[in-house]
Amino acid sequence: GAVVSQHPSWVICKSGTSVKIECRSLDFQATTMFWYRQFPKQSLMLMATSNEGSKATYEQGVEKDKFLINHASLTLSTLTVTSAHPEDSSFYICSAIQGTYNEQFFGPGTRLTVL
């Protein structure tokens, strides 16, 4: 199957700083990627849909100025958490659509801890 990677796998930062998380499709091109957020013992909540070469589509309630998404190439999407605060601490997961398999493939996730 197709492989999606995320970097970093975990990050700790101070309140007020910005953090960038990368999502890469390693062996396929992905015109569409998704970003999810997972709270402890809760489900994955879709944050936004990232489309290569265009602006991301954010779900209701997600602050687009706080969670900046850039899909600069067919293999890379980035999520930047700007001016992070402790309530932004969470597990962030990306997925990418692989056209041949007609399926979403998920990255391993990035755990963000804001102190």
Partner 1 sequence: GDSVTQMEGPVTLSEEAFLTINCTYTATGYPSLFWYVQYPGEGLQLLLKATKADDKGSNKGFEATYRKETTSFHLEKGSVQVSDSAVYFCALSASFGNEKLTFGTGTRLTIIP
Binding site for partner 1 (CB under 8 A): 4, 32, 34, 41-46, 49, 93, 95, 97, 102-109
CA 70 to CA 87: how far, in whole Å? 22
Q: How far is the CB of 15 from partner 1 (least distance, A)?
A: 28
Which residues partner with 23 through β-bridges? 6, 77
CB of 78 to partner 1, least distance (A): 17
DSSP 99: T
Residues facing residue 34 across a β-bridge: 49, 95
At 86, phi and psi to the nearest 5? Answer: -55, -35
CB nearer to partner 1: pick between 78 and 95: 95
| Shortest CB 50 distance to partner 1, Å | 11
